[in-house]
Chain A
């Protein structure tokens, strides 16, 4: 399979990077690409494979991040425990949303998830005693692997690469397994899927729950890496859009797509901000305009996402290859 070979090549390249690259700035960029790619891939399970376009996945990401912050500051618990707790909470929340919104199709599901993420934003900002309100929670740095107090970015690369690999494998499963085929049927036409014996409702809820749980895992690993959980950031609409954008730009419902999309967004954003976003440059904010225009152009010329678009280009330029 061409797709898996490309993914494997990317994985090996990333794994080799820390041996060559010493620059903390570049390593940080790589870690964020992998992290946003993973979150995009988690979003993709619901949005791309099950057709449940969510605009509120930051709710799950924030749940994971807050699990780390609250458990560490109140009970001194390891982020690894928070990963499990956050994933469990997100599974419960995702199942509840999935169950309640089962009848909502199209944009209504997106609006419902958006509302949920905003409820969390308001709740965590107001609950001063439990979540420290809008000040946020600094994640205490306790050196060690169990406490994820790791200063060396090269270790983080391998950690987040493992997360990315896990998500990639989940998506591969969704492309090739029985459940994956059935999910594709639900996405294409729910009634037709039902008529063929596909338990559409149950599958949709399951897809949302798994997507939510894995998004929470991303949040729970992000928090100790960045070291600070801020409600305005982790529950933001921006973040929800970022997950969706990574998957949509890379290729909705493709395994490697969200990572390609995340790479594009992160590089574009970081580069533009670094070169045009400097205070006093008279061009403050113009990077956002360029960023927006770039996204519009991309969606104009490659509406199905970068990965499928590249595949199409390849077919167009090498017609002899496809002929028998």
Chain B
């Protein structure tokens, strides 16, 4: 069974190849982490999956249906929701209105959408902030808001770009817990994350990218010890350890 299938995706910007022949599958209910040093093409891959970029080659499928070539709003209506690395709340709207925009993709009834939005806000721990303006939220709260908004579109796959990026240390455990609960609820997730401790603890599987190519794909503990992954992050000196292992 495959929920999301990425096959042979290549995306070029002029002379730069941001993604080269990237392929992997995500099973229903799986939580897959995507790692790689800065500039390795993680975010580009998200843009391709969510329809914001059209790949130069390759295909993305959701439950067998082709997503490639569709506009981002169609991709969302088919069941792929995303968050943005650089957060993009509707700053002038209230928190509950933000989430309603997502809910209104699935229902035509404004009152029903409001009720749903309030319910989701409660689940992500923003219930008390429902009527505040989005611009008044802290970064951690904004992350929760983006999550709530995306969840309101009732996705089959949720793409999370940097769950803990830019968030103060104290807020990280709560966010991680939230993602874990979503996963436990049966949601399929694809997560980009820089914090290694977080991503290895969360993921069932990790895909590692380097310079646009997939260099590893497997269980977290295997991937983080993979020679090419260590090389990518730290350089060759650390990948060929002398006796006793590298520090």
Q: Mark A127-146, 1 if CB is under 8 A from B, else 0.
A: 00000000000000000000
Bound CA–CA A188/B150 (angstroms):
16
* Distance from B87 Cβ to chain A, minimum over Cβ atoms (Å): 9
Q: How many residues of B contact A (CB 8 A)?
A: 30
Which listed residue (A176, A188, A196, A200) contacts B92, Cβ 8 A? A188
Which listed residue (B52, B93, B110, B152) contacts A184, Cβ 8 A? B93
Contact partners of A176 in chain B: CB under 8 A? 110
Q: Mark A177-198, 1 if CB is under 8 A from B, else 0.
A: 1100110110011011111111
For residue A149, CB closer than 8 A to chain B, the reply is no
* Distance from A284 Cβ to chain B, minimum over Cβ atoms (Å): 43
Q: Are A196 and B110 in contact (CB under 8 A)?
A: no
By DSSP majority rule, is chain A's interface helix, strand, loop, or mixed? Answer: helix
For residue B101, CB closer than 8 A to chain A, the reply is yes
Bound CA–CA A197/B153 (angstroms):
8
Bound CA–CA A60/B153 (angstroms):
37
Bound CA–CA A182/B52 (angstroms):
19
For residue A199, CB closer than 8 A to chain B, the reply is yes
Contact partners of A178 in chain B: CB under 8 A? 104, 108-110, 113
Bound CA–CA A95/B113 (angstroms):
30
Q: Are B110 and A181 in contact (CB under 8 A)?
A: yes
Q: With A185-B90, A196-B102, A199-B73 as given contacts, are A191 and B110 in contact (CB-CB < 8 Å)?
A: no
Q: Mark B70-109, 1 if CB is under 8 A from A, else 0.
A: 0111001100011010001111110001001110110011
Q: How many residues of A contact B (CB 8 A)?
A: 20
Q: Mark A181-223, 1 if CB is under 8 A from B, else 0.
A: 1101100110111111111110000000000000000000000
- Chain A's closest residue to B90 (CB) is A188
Contact partners of B77 in chain A: CB under 8 A? 197
Contact partners of B143 in chain A: CB under 8 A? none
For residue B156, CB closer than 8 A to chain A, the reply is no
Chain A residues in contact with chain B, CB under 8 A? Answer: 176-178, 181-182, 184-185, 188-189, 191-201
8 tightest Cβ-Cβ pairs between the two chains A and B = A197-B105, A197-B76, A188-B90, A194-B72, A192-B88, A185-B101, A196-B102, A197-B77
15 more CB-based (< 8 A) A-B contacts, given A193-B90, A196-B153: A178-B113, A181-B101, A181-B110, A181-B113, A184-B93, A191-B72, A194-B71, A194-B72, A194-B73, A195-B72, A196-B73, A196-B81, A196-B149, A196-B152, A197-B153
10 A-B contacts (beta carbon < 8 Å): A181-B100, A182-B101, A182-B104, A184-B97, A185-B93, A189-B89, A192-B84, A195-B52, A195-B84, A197-B73
